[in-house]
Amino acid sequence: MSLRLCGASLIAALAALSLKGCSDDSNPAKEKAHTITLRNGVKMPILAAGTWQYNDSVAEQVVVDALNSGFSHIDTAYDYDNQVGVGKGLKRSGKPRHSIFVTTKVPGCGIQNSSGVSVDVCKTQTVDKIEMDLQQLNLSYLDMVLIHFPPCPGEDGTHKSPSESSCYAPKSGCTHPQACDLVRAQWGVLTDYYQQKKIKAIGVSNYCQACFHCLANVTEMPMVNQVQLHVGMGSNPQGFLSFAEANKVVLQAYSPFGSGGHGSSEILAGNLTTSIGAKYKKSAAQVALKWIASRNVGIATKSASKEHLKANADIFDFKLSDEDMASLDAATFAAEDTPSFLCNDPAPSAAAVQRVVV
């Protein structure tokens, strides 16, 4: 603020500051660059700091460090079993609640921690899990709740991981005859909470095209689909980007560095990302994140290192050229990775024209 402000202009400036806090909300151009507007008008910060695989104490520290490193969006889940730590971190950061965007998830019915043998059980479990999310995080509202996985009819939620479920090997997401009943039951619960304003935005994760078709005539369609996406998977893996765009669903990329699997070393230290980064004085990791953000796709990244958190938040001061975007689009070193490990969706050409909602 200018030191020369005085009298009426000083009072006006102080009033504006107290209304808006000290966040970047007062800079519309910066806000536009850092957020994606969802179909209901909610502005979701593009970058989220993830907390998967952290225990409560690590999660608490990572949340504090992320919020002090430029992140304003935290991604967690009931299944991460660390929401108490995340909640403590949110409080300890000292940031006002309205300046933080908190995303959490409820398990898909039948999968990991959610028995879903019938529609009624599925609904009850979904209510229970949302209430647990609120309680563990110690929050009165949630910015976004996602259904973590498509349902797996016939499963009772006892498997520790979705990859142990009967839906995993066939990647049968939502093609089972009873899947749509469970999808609609869970979605109805999220919609109720959204309408009661206890959740500001609702979405899904690892959802296949067939799951969206289950929701064809609902009043609120999912605003976000959080799926795996990173450099090396190609420009439109299994048609997920074109399908989302056609249906006005914002994609959010998880595992942007490949989560230590296929392509991680290529992404974080390979020739392509490193040489592109050198042109902009950026690291390979920053190029990998920028490629995703440049496509208007959100990102759930993860780091327990303050240095990496700061670097990962610092991707808004450069623009990748069309040529560099095309080279990154063309990379297929991680083509085996799929956006959802539960989907076997059609190829991009068929998917591009499929529209579920208008």
Give whichever of 53 and 158 is closer to ligand NAP, judged by the CB atom.
Answer: 53
Least Å distance, CB 2 to ligand NAP, is: 36
Residues 92-151 that bind ligand NAP (CB under 6 A): 148
Cα–Cα distance measured from residue 30 to residue 352, given in angstroms and rounded to the nearest whole number: 32
Nearest to 213 by CA among 183, 239, 233, 237: 183
DSSP 235-279: SSGGGHHHHHHHTT-EEEEE-TTGGGSTTHHHHHH-HHHHHHHHH
Give whichever of 13 and 84 is closer to ligand NAP, judged by the CB atom.
Answer: 84
Told to check if 50 binds ligand NAP by CB under 6 A, we report yes
Cα–Cα distance measured from residue 69 to residue 311, given in angstroms and rounded to the nearest whole number: 9
Least Å distance, CB 226 to ligand NAP, is: 5
Catalytic residue among 54, 80, 193, 254: 80
Q: Which of 31-39, 107-115, 302-310, 347-355 is the region at the interface with ligand NAP (rule: CB under 6 A)?
A: 302-310
Residues whose CB falls within 8 Å of the CB of residue 110, separated by 6 or more in sequence, listed in order: 116, 117, 122, 151, 152, 153, 154, 155, 156, 157, 165, 167, 182
Is there a contact between 251 and 224 (Cβ–Cβ < 8 Å)?
yes
To the question of whether residue 148 is assigned a binding role by annotation, the answer is: yes
Q: Determine which residue in the list 311, 331, 343, 356 makes contact with ligand NAP, applying CB under 6 A.
A: 311
Residue nearest to ligand NAP (CB): 50
Cα–Cα distance measured from residue 132 to residue 112, given in angstroms and rounded to the nearest whole number: 15
Least Å distance, CB 176 to ligand NAP, is: 19
Cα–Cα distance measured from residue 149 to residue 188, given in angstroms and rounded to the nearest whole number: 16
For 293, counting Cβ atoms within 10 Å of its Cβ (0-12 exposed, 13-18 middle, 19+ buried), the class is buried
Give whichever of 191 and 303 is closer to ligand NAP, judged by the CB atom.
Answer: 303
Structural element, H or E, at residue 228 = strand 224-228
β 35-37/43-45 pair status: antiparallel
Told to check if 226 binds ligand NAP by CB under 6 A, we report yes
Least Å distance, CB 228 to ligand NAP, is: 7
Q: How many residues bind ligand NAP (CB under 6 A)?
A: 25
Cα angle, residue 198 at apex, residues 193 and 201 outer, rounded to 5°: 75
Least Å distance, CB 230 to ligand NAP, is: 7
Per the annotation, the verdict on 193 as an active-site residue is no
Residues 255-294, mask of contacts with ligand NAP (x by CB under 6 A) = xxxxx--------x----------------x---------
Give whichever of 23 and 259 is closer to ligand NAP, judged by the CB atom.
Answer: 259
Cα–Cα distance measured from residue 266 to residue 284, given in angstroms and rounded to the nearest whole number: 9
Cα–Cα distance measured from residue 299 to residue 276, given in angstroms and rounded to the nearest whole number: 20
Q: Determine which residue in the list 99, 168, 308, 346 makes contact with ligand NAP, applying CB under 6 A.
A: 308
Cα–Cα distance measured from residue 322 to residue 226, given in angstroms and rounded to the nearest whole number: 25
Residues 190-209 that bind ligand NAP (CB under 6 A): 205-206
- Provide the annotated binding site for substrate: 148
Residues that bind ligand NAP (CB under 6 A): 50-52, 75, 148, 205-206, 226, 254-259, 268, 285, 300-305, 308, 311-312
Known catalytic residues are: 80
- Provide the annotated binding site: 148
